[in-house]
């Protein structure tokens, strides 16, 4: 019997229904114990879905937690350490093949979720940044304003070595925190999402400690604190740069104006 167009449409809908509901039902009912290779595939898919496009890299989360069902967790408990190590190696190799860049040191955990059924797993990942330190990180590269050899003016015995302190002002001119400002002179000014920063931001594209400004030889120097999305001055990415009045600093989606008072 020849099927007309309407009959073919109904047949396709029926096949889709069986594929979605009936086969899925038996797959859940007849599911077997979860195998490590299945966990690895779920983690790779989780990494792909969470990737973030940076200026020159594809960034992926560096912290992963695998949740297993009660039965699977108890079965794998004696080998959790080995499993975690294997998954760690797998993700590291997978990221290399995909040319991904981890947002920090890769972390791996395996935990129990009693809600899950046998053969199921759940993956959670996040961009976990390292805790900020009180000491400024070493610069990654030299800037034109700083050479290896520095020439200092010769001071006479009677001449006091006094550093001229300039007063600066940081003002957010674009972004969620528009209008926020901070005065700077001698003190170090931390910028980022931490509430304890001298200039705290709510921009989720900024790191917790994104950048900081210190006084060196009478000049304010902006340093990137190894942020995820980078620090820019007048559209140029920097690691370390002497500030000039009128410079526009870009962190995430926030633009900050630096002025000398």
Q: What is the DSSP letter of 19?
A: I
Token pair listed for 47: 């990494």
CATH 3.30.2320.60 maps onto the chain at 5-22+32-126
CATH 2.60.200.20 maps onto the chain at 168-259
136 and 214 in contact (C-beta within 8 Å)? yes
CATH number of 5-22+32-126: 3.30.2320.60
How far apart (Å, rounded) are the C-alpha atoms in residues 208 and 131? 9
Predicted structure pTM score? 0.43
pLDDT at 129: 65
How far apart (Å, rounded) are the C-alpha atoms in residues 56 and 116? 39
pLDDT at 147: 45
**Predicted confidence pLDDT, tens digits, the chain (261 residues):** 555 554 544 555 555 554 444 444 434 443 567 888 899 999 999 999 988 887 778 888 888 999 999 999 999 888 888 888 889 889 989 998 999 888 778 888 999 998 999 889 999 988 876 555 444 555 555 444 444 545 545 444 444 445 556 788 999 999 999 999 999 988 899 999 998 899 999 998 899 999 999 988 889 999 999 888 899 999 999 999 999 999 999 999 999 999 997
Task: Say yes or no: domain 168-259 is CATH 2.60.200.20.
Answer: yes
As a three-state string, the secondary structure of 84-127 is HHHHHHHHHHHHHHHCEEECCCCEEEEEECCCCCCCCEEEEEEC
How far apart (Å, rounded) are the C-alpha atoms in residues 180 and 192? 13
pLDDT at 1: 52
């Amino acid at each position: 019997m020849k099927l007309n167009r309407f009959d073919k449409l109904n047949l396709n809908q029926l096949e889709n229904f069986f594929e979605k509901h009936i086969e899925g039902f038996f797959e859940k009912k007849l599911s077997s114990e979860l195998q490590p290779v299945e966990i690895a595939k779920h983690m790779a898919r989780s990494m792909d879905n969470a990737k973030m496009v940076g200026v020159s890299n594809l960034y992926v989360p560096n912290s992963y937690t695998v949740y297993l069902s009660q039965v699977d967790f108890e079965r794998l408990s004696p080998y959790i350490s080995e499993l975690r190590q294997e998954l760690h190696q797998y993700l590291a190799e997978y990221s290399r093949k995909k040319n991904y860049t981890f947002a920090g040191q890769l972390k791996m955990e395996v935990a129990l979720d009693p809600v899950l059924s046998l053969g199921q797993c759940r993956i959670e990942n996040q961009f976990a940044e390292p805790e900020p330190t009180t000491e400024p990180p070493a610069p990654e590269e030299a800037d034109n304003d700083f050479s290896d050899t520095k020439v200092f003016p010769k001071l006479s015995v009677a001449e006091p070595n006094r550093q001229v302190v300039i007063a600066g002002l940081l003002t957010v001119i674009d972004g969620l925190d528009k209008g926020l400002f901070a005065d700077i002179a001698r003190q170090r000014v931390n910028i980022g999402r931490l509430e304890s920063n001298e200039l705290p931001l709510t921009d989720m594209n900024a790191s917790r400690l994104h950048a900081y400004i210190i006084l060196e030889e009478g000049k304010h120097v902006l340093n990137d604190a190894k942020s995820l999305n980078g620090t820019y001055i007048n559209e140029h990415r920097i690691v370390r740069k002497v500030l000039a009045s009128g410079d526009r600093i870009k962190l995430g989606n926030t633009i900050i104006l630096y002025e000398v008072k």
